[in-house]
Amino acid sequence: MQHSLPLPQGGKHCNNPHLVEDQRFPQQRLSRKARQKTNVFDPDYLAGVSPFCENDIYSRAANLQIRDGQCGGGRRRANPNAVRRKFVKK
pLDDT in tens, 26-72: 777 766 666 665 556 667 666 545 555 566 666 776 677 666 554 44
Phi, psi of 61 (to 5 degrees): -65, -35
Residue-level pLDDT at 88: 73
- Look at residue 3 in the predicted model and tell me its pLDDT: 80
pTM, rounded to two decimals? 0.33
- Rg (the chain; Cα; Å): 19
pLDDT value of position 70: 47
Higher pLDDT, 10 or 54: 10
Please give the distance of CA 6 from its chain centroid, rounded to a whole number. 24
pLDDT at residue 20 greater than cutoff 80: yes
Q: What are the residue boundaries of the structural domains of the chain, listed by start?
A: 28-68
Sign of CA dihedral 57, 63, 68, 69: positive
Cβ neighbors of 71 (< 8 A, separation 6 or more) are 77, 78
